[in-house]
Amino acid sequence: MGKSRSSKLSETAAGRPQATRKGWSPEMNAMGTHTDTRMQTQLASGEMLQILSYLEDCSDELDHTIELNAPNPVFRMALHVIKGHLEAKIVTPTSLIAAANVPYATASRRLKEMIDAGLIDQRPRTKSGKSFSMHPSDKMMDQWTRISGRVRRLTETYFGSGAKAAEDRDYYFGGSYMTARSIPPIQVLPEPLKVAGGIRVLVHGDPTFMVMENLKRQFEQVIGTQIHQRAFSIDRLREEALRNAERKASRYDIIALDLPWVGEFADKSVLMPLDDVIDVAAVDPADFHTAGWKAAHWGGRPYGVPAQTTPELLFYRRDLFAEAGLEPPGTTDQLLEAARRMHDPQKGRYGIAWNAARGTALGHTFLMTLADFGQPVLDLPEAAGGFDTDGLADRGYRVTIDTDKGLLAADFLMELLRYSPPDILSMSWYERVRPFAAGKIAMAYGYTLLAPYFELDPSSPAYGQTGYLPHPHGPGATNVAPVGGYVMGIPANLAPERVPAAAEALRVFTSPEAQKLFVQNGSRTNPRYSVASDAEVRRASPIFEAVDAMSWRDELQFWPRPPVPEITGIIQICGEEFHDMLRGLTAPRDALRRAQERAEALIHTTGPT
């Protein structure tokens, strides 16, 4: 099942030096973002199919206008099979023969010639192998991209305007696939996955995974079987994954997990080590952002493949900063000054929004703020670019909350509170970005996966006016863009007969071709260097180039939320104690002491004896 492709990928990965890398949920449905994403899907498909429609129309005109003109069956069948592939429609030999517009016998011979020439792949549709679906081969798709470029250039030469921007010329008529580093359309597997009931996937209800749900039909075409996807909020996702691990047999073939859970899920045998079931080289580890790939490991072994690498950044309104004569903030002091200057409650505008809701949301904020002042929440050894996490599986760490830098972080949050909206203490993941998209907030800390709220909404005041920065740093520290996102892994209790299909589906869902498709249809996350360097991806959003640059500067780091088994509890503790601090119920030093004591007790209880 796809052995030759995996071998090819393995050789590619092994031969690529690492130095050559270059470069919605129920809540979102309520805002209509799910509908917006579906519209983006239709737009992307329409633009990629434009050249096909153009050539089809030209062929029809020639066939019906010139009396002695003979239809070209090979050309017409090629157009039909490529169009079916891009639209995720099943193409059969019968439909291809009908599209040829020539007598049945002639079309049958030409179809056989195309199969023999390696232009069309056949994939069995039934167990008997007597029924096939037809798909364009890699060879045909390569020829399609080359002729698209030539047709585009000829059309512009004779009929187009010379004033068109170069980027527009590259984009139309399939030109996005013509650049040297362009990622081709996703291809169907040579053989459909043979798994009873289809592939079952458990994911987070965020924009990227909802894009995958919108594209379900196309991915079902690619893997040759049904896909059943369940999506939950972050806390419910973790609960369901842990509940699933207690079952005799997993209900899911693939599960998505937040990066900080990797240690816990590995420690509790929720996931199987991937190097037991797949050729790790086949997923091309060197192509992933280093922080995202390393965060998928525990004890030196990978437990998942990055599906999203979505750092938390500082979003800021470039137009408002320009009007105020302010430079983008690079330090925490500059951030506070900018928030003060932008804060004008009487005009309905506030300086900054952030995760301040009690529990998980604020707990994440404290850990990331601690990192802004140069300290992790555990006593990790220092290393180039930050702190070393390789030895976490040895469980020799201790908590470092009640420290001098911890006090700086706590005081900084108290200062931020002064320039935040009145409902800040109930704001979490989506709530902090909604007012930014509505023009009520000048700055917001947010994950890149939330950018569709304003990047895909032309009515938003932040549309086209948002800049992206790593977290501003405190005294003596450096800029950090704390890495978030999800990896996809295989449950340890999955029935053995389902594992090969799950492994192949996992490879498909995390492939560069799939990741580019997600971006084309509204996602603003990406775990791979190759996808970030694709010309069409870079045109979709400035986020990808910005994040790629942060990765090369070693600003993308996952040590701010070290993936130890106790991290969820530590985050919850911080989210409770510092919420009381922000409400004025406890002083910063008392909040630090209480959080330290509770976290130490948690590690003592759950750690090795």
Give pLDDT tens digits for 233-285: 988 999 999 999 999 999 999 999 999 999 999 999 999 999 999 989 889 99
pLDDT of 12: 33
The answer to whether residue 520 scores a pLDDT higher than 80 is: yes
DSSP designation for 182: P
Same domain, 468 and 492: no
Reported as a pLDDT band with limits 50, 70 and 90, residue 180 is very low
* Residue 185 domain flag: no
Q: Is the pLDDT of residue 369 over 80?
A: yes
More confident residue, 20 or 525: 525
Dist CA 460 CA 370 (whole Å): 32
- Find the angle CA(495)-CA(499)-CA(502) to the nearest 5 degrees: 120
345 domain residue, yes or no: yes
pLDDT, position 329:
97
* Helix runs in 66-215, H state only: 73-86, 93-99, 104-116, 138-158, 166-171, 207-214
> Residue 130 and residue 580: Cα distance in Å, rounded?
68
Q: What confidence score (pLDDT) does residue 457 get?
A: 95
Q: Give the sign of the dihedral formed by CA 390, CA 396, CA 399, CA 405.
A: negative
- Rg (Cα) of the chain, in Å, rounded? 26
Residue 86: give its domain's CATH number. 1.10.10.10
34 and 134 inside one domain? yes
> How much is the average pLDDT of 461-466?
96
Considering only residues 66 and 58, tell me which one the structure prediction assigns the higher pLDDT. Answer: 58
Same domain assignment for residues 349 and 447: yes
Residue 561 lies in a domain: no
- Rounded Cα distance between 227 and 470, Å, is 36
390 shares its domain with 474: yes
The rounded distance, in Å, linking the Cα atoms of 54 and 3 is 37
Q: Give tens-digit pLDDT for 71-90.
A: 788 888 888 888 877 766 78
Three-state SS at 587? coil
Per-residue pLDDT at 224 exceeds 50: yes
Q: What is the pLDDT of residue 91?
A: 85
Residues 213 and 277 reside in one and the same domain? yes
For residue 556, what are the β-bridge partners? 481
Whether 344 maps to a domain, the answer reads yes
Per-residue pLDDT at 178 exceeds 50 = no
With CA atoms as reference, report the closest residue to 480 among 414, 409, 575, 574: 409
User: Which of 44-48, 178-182, 571-575 is predicted least confidently?
Assistant: 44-48
At 70, the pLDDT band (50, 70, 90 cuts) reads: low
Same domain, 491 and 579: no
pLDDT digits (tens, 9 = 90+) for 352-366: 999 999 999 999 999
Cβ(429)–Cβ(355) below 8 Å: yes
Q: In sequence order, what DSSP letters do the residues of 284-330 get, joined into one string?
A: -GGGB-HHHHHHTEETTEE--EEEEE--EEEEEEHHHHHHHTPPPP-
CA distance 193 to 219: 12
* Predicted pLDDT at 36: 39
60 vs 200, higher pLDDT: 200
Determine contact, residues 6/282, Cβ cutoff 8 Å.
yes
For residues 470 and 545, membership in a common domain is answered with no
Tokens of 27: 């809540």
Q: 91-95, 442-446, 481-485: which has the minimum mean pLDDT?
A: 91-95
Q: What's the pLDDT at 321?
A: 97
Instruction: Read off the CATH number of the domain in which 428 is found.
Output: 3.40.190.10
Do residue 453 and residue 600 come from a single domain?
A: yes
User: 181 pLDDT band (50/70/90 cuts)?
Assistant: low
Any idea which of 45-59, 444-458, 478-492 has the lowest mean pLDDT? Answer: 45-59
Same domain? For 594 and 462 the reply is: yes
* Same-domain status, 424 and 456: yes
Confirm if 572 and 363 have CB atoms less than 8 A apart.
yes
Dig out the tokens for 463 from the structure.
Answer: 């549309």
- Find the mean pLDDT for residues 59-67: 64
pLDDT at 39 over 90: no
Given 552, 576, 597, which residue is the final one in a domain? 552
> Which segment of 171-185, 462-476, 562-576, 593-607 scores lowest on mean pLDDT?
171-185
Instruction: Decide if 186 is inside a domain.
Output: no
Prediction pTM value: 0.72
Answer whether residue 177 shows pLDDT above 70. Answer: no
Type of residue found at 90? I
Which is nearest to 394 in space by CA: 304, 302, 300? 300
Q: Rounded CA gap, 468 and 447, in Å?
A: 10
pLDDT of residue 140: 82
Same domain, 447 and 583: yes
Query: What average pLDDT does the segment 142-154 reach?
Result: 68
DSSP β-ladder status, 305-309 and 485-489: antiparallel
Q: Does residue 182 lie within any of the structural domains?
A: no
Please check whether residue 247 lies inside any domain of the structure: yes
Using a pLDDT cut of 70, give the percent of the chain over it. Answer: 81
Please state, in angstroms and rounded to a whole number, the distance separating the CA atoms of residues 144 and 141. 5
The Cβ of residue 129 has, within 10 Å, a number of other Cβ atoms equal to: 9
Once rounded to an integer, what is the mean pLDDT over residues 58-67? 65
CB 296 within 8 A of CB 302: yes
- Is residue 144 scored above 80 in pLDDT? no
Considering its fold, how many domains does the chain have in total? 3
The pLDDT value given to residue 67: 59
Question: Does 340 share its domain with 409?
Answer: yes
> Is the confidence at residue 503, as pLDDT, over 70?
yes
Residue 138 DSSP one-character state: H
Provide the domain limits for residue 399: 312-481+566-606
Q: To which residue do tokens 């790593």 refer?
A: 470
Tell me, yes or no, whether 12 lies in a domain.
no
Measured CA to CA, the distance from residue 258 to residue 290 in angstroms comes to: 17
Which phi and psi angles does 309 have, rounded to 5°?
-120, 105
